[in-house]
Amino acid sequence: MHDHHDHRLAADRRALTIALVLVASILGAEIVAGIVAHSLALLADAGHMLTDAAALAFAVVASTMAARPAAGRWTYGYSRLEILAAQANGITLLLLGALIVVEALRRLNAPPDVDGAIVVGTAVVGAFVNVLALRQVARANRANLNVEGSYRHLLTDLYAFAGTAVAGAVIWATGFQQADAIASLAVAGSMLWAGWPLVRRSGQVLLEAAPEGLAPDEITAIMRSHSGVTDVHDLHVWEISSGFPALSAHVLVGRGEDCHGIRRELEAVLHERFGIDHTTLQVEHTADRLLDISRPDR
């Protein structure tokens, strides 16, 4: 299982690295084209690709660190770097999207002269390179928030290139300069749409909310219904990193029951029903008499 996990991480790193090289190969050319053509849409695409490159680089580093074993103070290893990378990706998309909205609104009122031919040519080439990078990231494990963040970056960039190409064609054919600002607003919208789920999901992991699809009340009820169990309390279920749920709970069993046997049975139930393998169960016998702390009659 561990070897398979390492192989999966290595494959993810390879895919992310290839995508990073592809994105970096077109980034500089797009910035120059955007400046020459006076196109905010191209510059917005370039800014988005810059965040793509940063996100992919961060993803590669996070994936490499996450593969390191737990040691010393880092008892869980570095798995949560993947979550931090995903959150950084989401925040970057939101901030950059907001900046583009402000500039696009300004350009709607006072549009510069945009060279539509340069916009179309650059957008088509950028879209082709983006598709190649997107195919690489799609091969990686998208259940990993780190990989999913990079994928969302590239996917929204593909939409952005399509919108930019259309805007360039409109300007080229009709001279309607505001098309560039309108395309920029569409790019910003796609960035905001992609960024918010990443921020929300990574925030849930960092705040140790129950993983999506795992209901603590349901887990508690199933554990309580297990033969020999009299009560379950102090149950906590959280996610250490993508696909790494953990659970801890205090379990009371009847007098004369096999604590260790019931613990093993509960661990099997948690694995089979909920896919939780990392569990910490404190199993104790129920006391013969519960301590009466009520106020005595006088």
> What CATH number did the domain enclosing 259 receive?
3.30.70.1350
* Same domain, residue pair 165 and 54: yes
Q: What 3-state class would DSSP assign to 244?
A: strand
Residues 88 and 122 in one domain: yes
Q: 138, 182, 132: which is closest to 160 by C-alpha?
A: 182
268 compared with 68, residue with greater pLDDT: 268
SS3 of residue 258 by DSSP: coil
Cβ-contact 163, 40 below 8 angstroms = no
The C-alpha atoms of residue 158 and residue 62 are separated, in whole angstroms, by: 24
Residue range of the domain that includes 47: 2-206
Number of domains in the chain: 2
User: Across 34-48, 65-79, 247-261, which has the greatest mean pLDDT?
Assistant: 247-261
pLDDT band at 4 (very low <50, low <70, confident <90, very high): very low
Regarding predicted confidence, which is higher, 51 or 278? 278
| In the predicted structure, residue 1 carries a pLDDT above the cut 50 | no
Q: Are 122 and 268 in a shared domain?
A: no
Residue 100's pLDDT band (boundaries 50, 70, 90)?
Answer: confident
- What residues contact residue 212 under an 8 Å CB cut-off, 6+ apart? 201, 204
* 3-class DSSP state of 53: helix
Helices (H) and strands (E) in the chain, counts: 8, 3
For the ranges 148-157, 175-184, 185-194, the lowest mean pLDDT is seen at 148-157
Reply yes or no on whether the pLDDT at 55 is more than 50: yes
Nearest 5 degrees, angle CA 101-CA 93-CA 98?
Answer: 20
Judgement on whether residues 187 and 40 belong to the same structural domain of the protein? yes
The C-alpha torsion from 219 through 225 and 228 to 234, rounded to 10°, is 40
* DSSP 8-state secondary structure symbol assigned to residue 190: H
CA–CA separation, 19 and 136 (whole Å): 6
Question: pLDDT tens-digit profile of 145-179?
Answer: 767 777 877 887 888 888 889 999 999 999 898 89
Specify the pLDDT at position 189: 86
Residue 152 lies in a domain: yes
Q: In this predicted structure, what is the pLDDT of residue 249? A: 95
Do 230 and 179 fall into the same domain? no
Give the pLDDT band of residue 269 (cuts 50, 70, 90).
very high
Per residue in 240-249, pLDDT tens? 877 789 999 9
Same domain as 170, residue 35:
yes
Mean pLDDT within 187-192: 84
Q: What's the CA angle centered on 275, arms 270 and 280, to 5 degrees?
A: 50
CATH code where residue 6 lies: 1.20.1510.10
In 10 A of CB 158, how many CB atoms? 16
Q: Supply the pTM of this predicted model.
A: 0.73
| pLDDT at residue number 290 | 46
Taking each helix axis from N to C end, the angle separating 2-37 and 40-66, rounded to the nearest 10 degrees, works out to 160
Higher pLDDT pick, 233 / 290: 233
| Average of per-residue pLDDT values in the chain | 83
The last residue of one of the domains, among 168, 186, 206, is: 206
Q: Please answer whether residues 161 and 125 qualify as being in contact, where contact means their C-beta atoms are separated by less than 8 angstroms.
A: no
| Residue bearing tokens 């796609």 | 190
